[in-house]
Amino acid sequence: MAEIIDGKAVGDDVAATVKRLTAELVAGGGPTPGLAVVIVGEDPASQVYVASKSKKAKECGFHSVQHTLPADTSQADLLKLIGDLNADTAIHGILVQLPLPKHIDAGLVIQTIAPEKDVDGFHFINVGKLGTGELATAFVPCTPAGSMLLIERVRGRDLSGLNAVVVGRSNIVGKPMANLLLAANCTVTIAHSKTKDLPAVARAADILVAAVGRPEMIRGDWVKPGATVIDVGINRIPAPEKGEGKTRLVGDVAYAEAAKVAGAITPVPGGVGPMTIAMLMANTLSSAYISAGKPRPKF
């Protein structure tokens, strides 16, 4: 059976480091890291995410601010708020919770956030830095950054010569994940729904990252024996065994099958999920360190 990669334990370790370094920064006369979270509308899932982000920020000793705006907020008003947060020296990280209401151009909103406060790593400047290997100054999207940390805990930081396959090509996970693996000297293939003979491509991977958003699409016989499998998917499927109308969470990988073959694997839940919020805290701390003229911490 595969080693189970405990994302909660690693995420807690990252958060503990963030808390310690925050205390050190403040004790040395530096700024308290400030995170502003903006949510527009009443989407229940977004409310849960935002609450957990704000809670974790407070646990880390951050200055945590939440702006909850009504669903009919105009794009102009939202852009003005972001402009104010860009100018606020007490704020080091700005996160606009997606999805936004349909009348607001999410792309425009994200590009309005100052790149040095873009702790989600979605601004074109940060995307470009990651794509050109400027990892020392880029903010990397939190989910791929967390996934990379989990891979490093199993495989070490130098992944030279390993074959990595990323299934999924989104701007949020697939593409940045591929760039991180390239920077670690992997040979990287990005596969997707149009890839010919996807099982054979996946089977060549020493490191297999699943980020397609399709429940249990990647079967056990797609996994190379001994491979490290990182399952980014979070899908809710019916669970009649729990009772009528009940559901359960599964990843993009058929976990029970893959765990028999893989060398190490992330569970769902409890794998990549906890890392996303932990890396958001790490990015915000890094922004505060940079604003204080200090080298950014390594995780």
The answer as to whether 244 is a domain residue is yes
Question: Are the C-beta atoms of 168 and 192 separated by less than 8 Å?
Answer: yes
Q: Which of 117, 118, 120, 224 is catalytic?
A: 120
> Which residues constitute the domain of residue 176?
142-274
Residues 105 and 148 in one domain: no
How confident is the model at residue 42, as a pLDDT?
85
Q: Residue 102's domain is classified under what CATH number?
A: 3.40.50.10860
> 86 with 189, same domain?
no
Are the C-beta atoms of residues 272 and 146 closer than 8 Å to each other?
yes
Going residue by residue through the chain (299 aa), what tens digit of pLDDT does each one get?
A: 899 999 999 999 999 999 999 999 999 999 999 999 999 998 888 888 889 999 999 999 999 999 999 999 999 999 999 999 999 999 999 999 999 999 999 999 999 999 999 999 999 999 999 999 999 999 999 999 999 999 999 999 999 999 999 999 999 999 999 999 999 999 999 999 899 999 999 999 999 999 999 999 999 999 999 999 999 999 998 888 888 888 899 999 999 999 999 999 999 999 999 999 999 999 999 999 999 999 999 99
| Whole-number pLDDT of residue 71 | 96
Output the pLDDT for position 244.
Answer: 86
Would residue 296 count as lying in a domain? no
Q: How far apart are CA 115 and CA 296, in angstroms?
A: 16
How many Å from the N-terminal Cα to the C-terminal Cα in the chain?
A: 28
CA 146/CA 259 separation, integer angstroms: 21
Based on the structure, what is the number of domains in the chain? 2
Instruction: Provide Rg for the chain, Cα atoms.
Output: 19
Q: Is residue 137 part of a domain?
A: no
d(CA 43, CA 3) in angstroms, rounded, equals: 36
Whether residue 134 lies inside any domain: the answer is no
Backbone angles phi, psi at 230, to 5 degrees: -110, 115
**174 and 260 assigned to the same domain:** yes
Q: What pLDDT score does 45 carry?
A: 82
d(CA 10, CA 271): 9
Measure the CA–CA gap between 11 and 138, rounded to whole angstroms: 21
User: What is the model's pLDDT at position 40?
Assistant: 96
Residue 120 placed within a domain: no
Q: What is the CATH number of the domain that holds 151?
A: 3.40.50.720
Whether 35 and 156 share a structural domain: no
Q: Do 150 and 237 fall within a single domain?
A: yes
Catalytic residue among 56, 97, 175, 252: 97
- Give CA–CA dist 283/275, Å, rounded: 12
Examine the domain organization and report whether 89 and 194 are in the same domain: no
Task: Judge whether 75 counts as a catalytic residue.
Answer: no
d(CA 280, CA 286): 10
- Residue 97 known to be catalytic: yes
Has residue 218 been placed in a domain? yes
Q: How far apart are CA 287 and CA 45, in angstroms?
A: 27
How high is the pLDDT of residue 103? Answer: 97
Q: What local confidence, expressed as pLDDT, does residue 47 receive?
A: 87
Within-domain flag for 5: no
Same domain? 61 vs 177: no
- Whether 212 and 268 map to the same domain: the answer is yes
Domain match, 164 and 234 both: yes
**Exposure string (b/e) for 58-88, b if CB count within 10 Å is 16 or more?**
eebbbbbbbbebeeebeeeebeebbeebeee
Residue 122 to residues 17, 47, 219, Cα–Cα distance (Å): 24, 21, 31
Whether 66 is a known active-site residue: answer: no
If asked whether residues 214 and 168 sit together in one domain, one would say: yes
111 and 186 in a single domain? The answer is no
Are 218 and 208 contacting, i.e. CB atoms less than 8 angstroms apart?
A: yes
Catalytic residue among 53, 56, 117, 175: 53
Together in a domain, 200 and 104: no
